[in-house]
């Protein structure tokens, strides 16, 4: 009798363990399916972000003249209180189509000489805030060839400022 009771108890414990493990397995399957759905949603969102990132934020509908941009650069330099001659050159670059889109990038290279980092940041901030369609696509710093004894911090900076123009290609 005692052996039967012990055997029944062991069977009951084994059944309880099997039921518990079955429930855990089922809950793990549900979690795996949910994780797979979450991954699919994340991949879709990542693809959407990549697509949106590839399109310009703001685009011009007509081309701006280099004179207009030069005047904006001079105004930003004056507002940033840059020394005369700090903006050494303004060089328009060749337009280039942005991948297979209806947008064209119009880059302009701006060279600044002996400018402090603080002045450069204020200058770029002033310039970009005055024209929402303008983007600083490249900022390259280098040490000047001849160090100025009066400046503790002086850099040469090359900026590439880019306007994005909406210019669909004609289809024939």
Q: Would you list the domain boundaries of the chain?
A: 1-54, 66-166
- Name the band, by pLDDT with cuts 50, 70 and 90, for residue 32: very high
What DSSP string describes 88-135? EEEEE---EE-TTSSEEEEEEEEEEEEE-HHHHHHHHHHHHHH-TTEE
One of 3.40.640.10, 3.30.70.60, 3.40.50.11540, 3.30.1780.10 is the CATH number of 66-166, namely 3.30.70.60
Q: Two tokens at 132?
A: 């929402």
Q: Is 138 helix (H, G, I), strand (E, B) or coil?
A: strand
- Name the band, by pLDDT with cuts 50, 70 and 90, for residue 90: very high
* Of 18-22, 133-137, 144-148, minimum mean pLDDT range: 144-148
pLDDT above 70: percentage of residues in the chain: 88
- Measure the CA–CA gap between 121 and 77, rounded to whole angstroms: 11
The pLDDT value given to residue 161: 94
| Interval 96-112: pLDDT, tens | 998 888 888 999 999 99
How much is the average pLDDT of 156-162? 95
Asked whether 31 and 136 are in contact (CB, 8 A), the reply is no
How much is the average pLDDT of 81-107? 91
- Name the band, by pLDDT with cuts 50, 70 and 90, for residue 162: very high
**pLDDT at position 172 over 50:** no
pTM: 0.61
């Amino acid at each position: 009798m005692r052996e039967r009771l012990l055997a029944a108890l062991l069977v009951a414990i084994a059944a309880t363990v099997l039921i518990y493990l079955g429930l855990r397995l089922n809950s793990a399957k549900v979690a795996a399916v949910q994780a797979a759905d979450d991954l699919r949603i994340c991949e879709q969102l990542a693809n959407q972000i990549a697509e949106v990132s590839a399109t310009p934020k703001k685009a011009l509908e007509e081309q701006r003249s280099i004179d207009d941009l030069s005047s904006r650069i001079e105004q930003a330099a004056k507002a940033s209180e840059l020394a005369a001659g700090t903006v050494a050159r303004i060089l328009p670059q060749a337009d280039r189509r942005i991948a297979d889109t209806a947008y064209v990038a119009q880059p302009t290279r701006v060279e600044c000489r002996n400018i402090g980092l603080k002045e450069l940041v204020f200058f770029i901030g002033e310039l970009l805030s005055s024209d929402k369609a303008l983007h600083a696509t490249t900022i390259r710093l280098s040490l000047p060839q001849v160090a100025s004894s009066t400046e503790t911090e002086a850099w040469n900076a090359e900026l590439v400022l880019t306007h994005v123009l909406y210019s669909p290609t004609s289809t024939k």
